[in-house]
Amino acid sequence: MPVLVLAARICPPGVEATLFAGLMSIFNAGGIVSRQLGAALTDYLGITSTQFENLALLVLITNLSSLLPLPFLRLLDTVPDDDPSGEETLDIEANVKE
């Protein structure tokens, strides 16, 4: 959800639905790819329903792989607090808390 909040804050007016559909497509594709890579890695390590010898290595690899996107966070632009056009922006986080 933090990605959706960030996207809503930086999204130009009028293309919110297109941006949401694009993000959902990327999330769904990422889920499919991650399941396939996880299955391939499990098969490569020889883990089966009765063989758990390399399970600790699989858990270590999968947990460390969740840290891979962190270096790319600096590539994101900063989100301005106010809209440069002078229009009032919707504060999504404030509305959720109320």
Q: Would you state the pLDDT for residue 79? A: 57
Three-class secondary structure of residue 87 per DSSP: coil
Candidates 92, 90, 71; CA nearest to 3 is 92
Average pLDDT over residues 58-68: 95
Q: How far is CA 22 from CA 9, 14, 37, in A?
A: 16, 14, 22
On whether the CB atoms of residues 42 and 22 are closer than 8 A, the answer is: no
Q: Would you state the pLDDT for residue 72? A: 86
The first and second tokens of residue 59, run together, are 């858990």
Query: How many angstroms separate the CA atoms of 97 and 63, rounded?
Result: 31
Question: For the segment 6-23, what is each residue's pLDDT rounded down to a tens digit?
Answer: 777 878 888 888 988 998
Candidates 14, 11, 10; CA nearest to 81 is 10
Selected residue with higher pLDDT from 56 and 95: 56
Total count of residues recorded for the chain: 98
Put simply, whether the predicted model's pTM sits higher than 0.75 gets the answer no
